[in-house]
């Protein structure tokens, strides 16, 4: 198998896997990252979301070969438990989770939208989350956290 190097959260990792391997499996199984998770494997729910080239992408269906030299940012790449990123802090402040399995999809999707369009309307925020699922239905708090982050970063 060809060795390749993968840049994730500021660090370069040599990985030795089939080039068709989904990015998610490399992040979880090889690098032992906990942020992106296997929800559906079909790009239908968002639990595996990472940021690549400024976009929130679904790592469960992206072959590792498609990442090329670009850096991958996962949920744990935003901030740390000691120093969370402001959007993570907003989610902490709003207690915006129950089981928390979906958070990569929710937080990274909202972050990339607001990075690109800081003044996104509520409709635009909702639109961006129209393919993101939270089955505990912590919707009320999640929307509040996103609005809080948006207000704080303005």
Partner 1 sequence: MNTELSRRSFLKASGALVVSFSAASLIEPLAFAPFARAQGPFATHASHIDPTKLDSWIAVASDGTVTAYTGKCDFGQGIYTVQTQLVAEELCVALDTVKLIQCDTSITPDQGTTSGSQSTPTNFNNANLAQAAATAREALIAIAAQKLAIPADQLTVADGVITAKNGSKVTYRELIGGKHFDLTLNPTAKRRSHSKWTVLGQPTPSLDTVALMTGTFEFVHNVHVPGMVHGRVVRPPESGATVESVDEKSARHIPGLIQVVVRKNFVGVVAEKQWQAAQAAKDLKVTWRPGPTLPAKRDFYNYIRKQPSRQVLLVDSKDIDAKLNSATHVLKATYSHPYQAHGSIGSSCAVADVHPDHATIWSPTQSVYPTRHSISVLTGLPLDSVRVIFVRGSGCYGLNAADTVTSDGAILSQAVHRPVRVQLTRQDEFISENYGAACVIDQRAGIDASGSIIAWDCETWSVSLGGRPGYDKPGNVLTGMLAGLEAETITPREAVEPKGELNNGSNAVPSYVAGCIGGKCGGAGSIRSERVLVHAVKSPFFTGPLRSPLRLQNTFAHECFMDEICAHVTADPVAFRLQHLSNPRVIDAVKTAAKAANWEPRPSPKPANSRTGPATGRGIACVAYEGDNGYAALIAEVEVDEATGRVQPKRFVIGHDCGAISNPEGLRNQIEGGILQGMSRALGEEITWDDRKVTSIDWQTYNTLPLGIEVPAIEITLLDRPEAEAIGAGETAITLVAAALSNAIFDATGARLREVPFTQERVKAALAGPVAAQRS
103 touching partner 1, by CB under 8 A: yes
Binders of partner 1 among residues 111 to 140 (CB under 8 A) are 125-140
Those residues with Cβ within 8 angstroms of residue 81's Cβ, 6 or more apart along the chain or in another chain: none
65 touching partner 1, by CB under 8 A: no
Structural contact between residues 141 and 94, judged by C-beta atoms closer than 8 angstroms: yes
92 touching partner 1, by CB under 8 A: yes
- Count, residues near partner 1 per rule CB under 8 A: 64
Between helix 139-153 and helix 103-116 the angle, nearest 10°, is 30
> 57 has which bridge partners?
50
Least distance from partner 1 to the Cβ atom of residue 112, Å = 15
Binders of partner 1 among residues 6 to 45 (CB under 8 A) are 17-18, 20-22, 25, 28-29, 32-42, 44-45
Among all chains, which residue has been given the structure tokens 């994730």?
8
* 145 sits in which H/E element: helix 139-153
Q: Which CB atom, from 1 or from 151, has the smaller least distance to partner 1?
A: 1
List the structure tokens of 113: 């939208």
Residues that bind partner 1 (CB under 8 A): 17-18, 20-22, 25, 28-29, 32-42, 44-45, 47, 74-81, 84, 88, 91-92, 95, 97-104, 106-107, 125-143
């Amino acid at each position: 198998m060809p060795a390749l190097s993968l840049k994730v959260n500021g660090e370069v990792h040599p990985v030795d896997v089939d080039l068709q391997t989904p990015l998610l499996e490399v992040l979880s199984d090889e690098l032992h990252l906990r942020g992106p998770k296997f929800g559906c494997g079909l790009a239908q729910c968002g639990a595996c979301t990472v940021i690549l080239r400024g976009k929130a992408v679904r790592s469960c269906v992206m072959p590792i070969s498609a990442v090329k030299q670009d850096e991958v940012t996962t949920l744990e790449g935003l901030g740390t438990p000691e120093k969370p990123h402001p959007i993570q802090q907003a989610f902490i402040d709003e207690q915006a989770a129950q089981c928390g399995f979906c958070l990569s999809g929710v937080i990274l999707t909202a972050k990339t939208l607001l990075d690109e369009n800081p003044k996104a309307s509520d409709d635009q925020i909702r639109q961006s989350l129209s393919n993101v699922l939270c089955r505990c239905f912590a919707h009320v708090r999640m929307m509040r956290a996103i609005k809080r982050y948006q207000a704080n970063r303005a």
